[in-house]
Structure 1
Amino acid sequence: MATAAGKGYIGMVQWLHEEFGCDPEVDLFDYDKTQPRHTFADIVAMDSAAKTGHLEVVKYLHDVQISMQASAKKRKRDHTKQKCTPTCTIKAMDDAAANGHLKVVQWLHSNRGEGCTKSAMDEAAANGHLDVVRWLHENRREGCSTSAMDGAARNGQLGVVKWLHKNSTAGCTARAMDDAATSGHLEIVKWLHEHRAEISIDAAMAGAANFGRLDIVKWLHRKIPHACSGEMDKAAEGGKLRLLQWLYTNCSKHKVTFGIDEAVRYNYFEAVLFLYHQCQAECTEEAARATINNDETEDLRAWLLERHPEFEAVEEEEEAFD
């Protein structure tokens, strides 16, 4: 039942209920016959339909619940077992909002009493469903948390970020700019830098460097030149050669510590060569061991052994041990 409801197969949902829903031996809304009240199975059907936007299924299951509740008194008088009925939880509206199903959200608001949590607006904002965000803001009292703007910034939803800034007092955290930079959303990085006080340039620079967001690194560097003090390691860790070259040319601090080890481990051969020749960086023996034992790093392994013949003994010892 839950699977059919989640996929919107209303005909199947109706058939399953009509054929088996009233059979005491096959209660499709209840996996556990020992429980007289709502259990996981009868709840999840309506929640699943709401999450995937299948309003007709939600309405049908709601009507089934009303019908079964209406006959509850008679069952009690007759001393017969009160069967479980389909219902839902706050996840119905939360998940419908997260996935942008405004009509489902509106119907649940008007016809059900479970309500929602801040997660409804938070996730709707993160996923760019501004119409849902606006409606929740105007019609519900739960509001949102900092996760709303943080998530919208992370996913490149500049319109949502601006709307939240103007209409909500929840604000954001430093993660908004960090995640926007990491995800490559330059326009959001610019906007947050101008309008929000929670930002951290250093953390944003680190995230942008680690993921090779050269345009964002350049822009942040223009704003605060000293912010790229440790980004050579971050760029090296991700094997971002173009970014390494730019940082080397434009930043005064070229020290590399752990970055070359990560470049060696992940077989970023061109990055390793650049770090070795331009920054005089050397990897550790531990990183070399990992590379020597990796059959997919033939070129890098050969280069390491040429530069460090002593690693040949390490390789032979490993093979002898095996």
Structure 2
Amino acid sequence: MDEPRHGDSSGEPVLYHLLLTCSIRQRFTYLSLSDFTSLLLVNRVVGRFAESVLDRMFSRSDHTTEKYGALLRKVRAAGTDIFNLSHALASLARSRWQGEELRASQLALAVLEWHSSSDLLRCPVVVAPLLAQFCGADMQTLQHAICCLGLAASIEQLQLADAYKPMRTEILKAAIADGNNLLLRSMCELWPNMQHVPEQGYFETDDEALINAAKNGDLQTLYYLHETSHVPCGVQNGKALICAAKIGDLQTLRYLHEIGHVACGVQNGEALIIAAAKGCLEAVRYLHETGHVPCDVQDGEALIRAAQQGNLLTLRYLHETGGVPCDVQDGEALIRAAQRGQLQTLHYLHETGGVPCGVQDGLAIVRAAEEGHLEVVQFLHETGGVPCDVQDGEALIRAAQQGNLQILRYLHECGGVPCGVQDGEALICAALMDDLQILRYLHESGGVPCGVQDGKALIRAAKWGDLQTLRYLHESGGVPCGVQDGKALIRAAQWGNLRTLHYLHETGGVPCGVQDGLAIVRAAVEGHLEVVQFLHETGGVPCGVRDGEALIRAAQWGNLRTLHYLHETGGVPCGVQDGLAIVLAAEEGHLEVVRYLHQTGGVPCGVRDGLAIVLAAEEGHLEVVQFLHETGGVPCDVQDGEALIRAAQRGNLQTLRYLH
């Protein structure tokens, strides 16, 4: 670094450049003593600050030789003469006292000791970067340091930064990163000519920064990014304008359109649609009247969204001023309003907008019933004249499905919808949802037989373990537990519902071995050991039904405990169906199962012409391949090297190397 001549004002830009160099880096860095010399160019306060740092340095070492002592005396003798003091420290820097550099953290610690001193506030532009360096040297820390020192709105202190544009640029960047509007306002007042900053080439921005500013309603940041950094307002196809419309930020919207020259109709009028959905009427008005966006863009989607969200004022504007018919898209607005329970909006669309309540085959009443909006259902039926049984009573079924008893009663008792529509589907839905209250109503008040659709309700209740519903259907509804050849018992076994299984067998009289013992096979597949035990020990189902299918499936899915039981207690040979169990276990990579079948069950590993090793190799189960070959004695080249071919086809390199 060239040492500045006495009285040379060009020293200040050098100072700020050095400060930025040491404070902006993303990693913890060192500040050399030669760099530190430049700190002395600010004012005499810094000179005294430098002395305190030197004291700190020399007090921590025993190596205060005559050489360094002389230098220190020279520094102190300089007193408040900034020029001489800077040269004294420069000499000290060149000497590289102990070959070390002065850590920036030491400077920061000294700064912190000075925190209560009024002298500190006389050189904030020096202090803030040093403090930032000590705290982590990221962009936001600089701004935090300035704010902590009470300088956020200090025009006087910002004027110091104006002496060198890169310094003020960094403060601006920090303010933007932290969303500090107070600091931004101060800068806007002080630096109306901010557009000159990018000419220095120090400040980089991107599209996302401008979009985020619009999204957050931060017009000052957006202004800075556009005016100073030349980020176009229309980046990403006008996304910033859409974001501003979404939050109803009219000022930002005006700026983007009038100053930034972003067309209000970007992305096929998406801004107007989003503003309507959010109920931002002033934004909608501006986009239409000033931005010339037609209110019916995208086939009137804005009106539909406004109706859906219940934004009645916006809806009225779009219809009455914007000329959008209320029945666009075949009355979709009315259906959305009904679905969301927007009764006032519904009144307007029907009575003012002239939309028939029964559009799209009465879909509005179906959606309202599903969502539980009783007043809407009543309005659509009583005022709008929509029959309650539209779409073959779909509204009643949806109400049952969602557990909306009040609506179900209204549809049946006032709307005249038979509870048994669609072959009693409502009752089946109620059973599926374990809603006993609705189930009772449908059966006892609606007259729906509990056994509709060949006892489907009871089967579903058994599947999900809804014992209370199951008992009602059987004991009150008279549904035999053995409907569809005992399907309920099979489903209960498959899903591991042991209590349900007990009830079906012991109370319902369903034999556990229905459908050739399918229940025990399904339970074995899922690994429900207690169910398997019950079916065998209480239900009398032989474990070897269907030629040992239960054992094979238990092996295939790695259910080792179930496999043990079926073989050791149930007496099923492990080699049933020509050793299929070991083949499938090998294919799935269940090494412990393969080991058990071979070592305990006595199944040769090479059954079916070594198919187990071929499938294990294909799937890349190296440990299984090793076991089958090394322990089971299966040659790796069975089936004319098929295992190697399959491994190569699948790219199982480790297995391929082993086989080769």
TM-score bracket for this pair, using the shorter chain length: 0.7 to 0.9
Q: Name 1:142's counterpart in structure 2.
A: 417
CA contact (8 A) 2:326 2:333 kept: no
Can you list the C-alpha shifts for 1:61-110, whole angstroms capped at 9, x where unaligned?
A: 324532x89xxxxxxxxxxxxxxx99453222122212322222112112
Radius of gyration: which is bigger?
A: 2
Letter in structure 2 aligned against 1:131: Q
Give, in whole Å, the separation in 2 of the partners of 1:27 and 1:243: 63
Q: 1:309 to 1:119 in 2, by over 3 A?
A: same
- Pick from 505, 511, 518: which aligns with 1:221? 505
Structure 1 residue 273 corresponds to structure 2 residue 535: no
**How big is the shift at 1:111?**
1.9
Q: Name 1:170's counterpart in structure 2.
A: 448
**SS of 2:488's equivalent?**
helix
Letter in structure 2 aligned against 1:203: K
**How big is the shift at 1:292?**
2.9
Letter in structure 1 aligned against 2:492: A
Give, in whole Å, the separation in 1 of the partners of 2:566 and 2:597: 13
Give, in whole Å, the separation in 2 of the partners of 1:139 and 1:60: 25
Q: 1:147 to 1:87 in 2, by over 3 A?
A: closer
Give, in whole Å, the separation in 2 of the partners of 1:22 and 1:263: 70
Structure 1 residue 193 corresponds to structure 2 residue 474: yes
CA contact (8 A) 1:177 1:189 kept: yes
**SS of 1:121's equivalent?**
helix
Give, in whole Å, the separation in 1 of the partners of 2:313 and 2:604: 72
Aligned-residue Cα RMSD (Å) equals 3.3
Q: Name 2:645's counterpart in structure 1.
A: 320
- Pick from 375, 382, 387: which aligns with 1:103? 375
Letter in structure 1 aligned against 2:383: N
TM-score by length of 1: 0.76
**How big is the shift at 1:116?**
3.5
Relative to its length, the structure with more helix (as a share) is 2
Ranges in structure 1 where 5+ consecutive residues have no aligned partner? 31-40, 70-84
Letter in structure 1 aligned against 2:463: T
**How big is the shift at 1:204?**
1.6
Equivalent residues in 2 for 1:1-322, closer than 5 Å? 1=301, 4=305, 8-11=308-311, 15=314, 18-19=317-318, 30=328, 41-66=329-354, 87-117=359-389, 118-145=393-420, 146-172=424-450, 173=452, 174-201=455-482, 202-229=486-513, 230=517, 231-254=519-542, 255-257=544-546, 258-279=549-570, 280=572, 282=574, 289=583, 291-294=585-588, 297-303=590-596, 307-310=603-606, 311-312=612-613, 314-316=615-617, 317-321=642-646, 322=649
**SS of 1:253's equivalent?**
coil
Give, in whole Å, the separation in 2 of the partners of 1:212 and 1:54: 44
Letter in structure 2 aligned against 1:175: K
Q: 1:126 to 1:320 in 2, by over 3 A?
A: same
Ranges in structure 2 where 5+ consecutive residues have no aligned partner? 1-300, 607-611, 618-641, 650-660
Q: 1:162 to 1:314 in 2, by over 3 A?
A: closer
Letter in structure 2 aligned against 1:320: I
**How big is the shift at 1:233?**
1.8
Letter in structure 2 aligned against 1:179: R
Give, in whole Å, the separation in 1 of the partners of 2:489 and 2:358: 50
Letter in structure 2 aligned against 1:180: A
Q: 1:318 to 1:308 in 2, by over 3 A?
A: same
Can you list the C-alpha shifts for 1:107-133, whole angstroms capped at 9, x where unaligned?
A: 211222332432222221232221111
CA contact (8 A) 1:232 1:247 kept: yes
**How big is the shift at 1:286?**
6.2
Can you list the C-alpha shifts for 1:291-322, whole angstroms capped at 9, x where unaligned?
A: 43445x45445545654411235535344322
Q: 1:92 to 1:266 in 2, by over 3 A?
A: farther
**SS of 1:53's equivalent?**
coil
Give, in whole Å, the separation in 2 of the partners of 1:261 and 1:240: 15
Letter in structure 1 aligned against 2:440: K
Letter in structure 2 aligned against 1:18: Y
**SS of 1:271's equivalent?**
helix
Letter in structure 2 aligned against 1:155: M
Give, in whole Å, the separation in 2 of the partners of 1:226 and 1:89: 45
**SS of 1:187's equivalent?**
helix
CA contact (8 A) 1:64 1:86 kept: no
Give, in whole Å, the separation in 2 of the partners of 1:206 and 1:220: 10
Q: 1:181 to 1:20 in 2, by over 3 A?
A: same
Give, in whole Å, the separation in 1 of the partners of 2:615 and 2:353: 71
Q: 1:236 to 1:294 in 2, by over 3 A?
A: closer
Q: 1:27 to 1:96 in 2, by over 3 A?
A: closer
Query: Higher relative contact order by CA 8 Å / sep ≥ 6: 1 or 2?
Result: 1
Give, in whole Å, the separation in 2 of the partners of 1:263 and 1:46: 55
Letter in structure 1 aligned against 2:361: T
Give, in whole Å, the separation in 2 of the partners of 1:268 and 1:57: 58
Letter in structure 1 aligned against 2:491: G
**How big is the shift at 1:148?**
1.5
CA contact (8 A) 2:462 2:470 kept: yes
CA contact (8 A) 2:432 2:460 kept: yes
Give, in whole Å, the separation in 1 of the partners of 2:346 and 2:591: 58
CA contact (8 A) 2:443 2:449 kept: yes
The worse-fitting range, judged by mean Cα deviation, of 134-143 and 56-65 is: 56-65
Aligned residues: 292
**SS of 1:132's equivalent?**
helix
Letter in structure 2 aligned against 1:4: R
CA contact (8 A) 1:182 1:213 kept: yes
Q: 1:318 to 1:224 in 2, by over 3 A?
A: farther
Q: 1:100 to 1:294 in 2, by over 3 A?
A: same
**How big is the shift at 1:256?**
3.6
Give, in whole Å, the separation in 1 of the partners of 2:644 and 2:337: 57
Give, in whole Å, the separation in 2 of the partners of 1:19 and 1:100: 29
The worse-fitting range, judged by mean Cα deviation, of 304-313 and 246-255 is: 304-313
Give, in whole Å, the separation in 2 of the partners of 1:298 and 1:16: 66
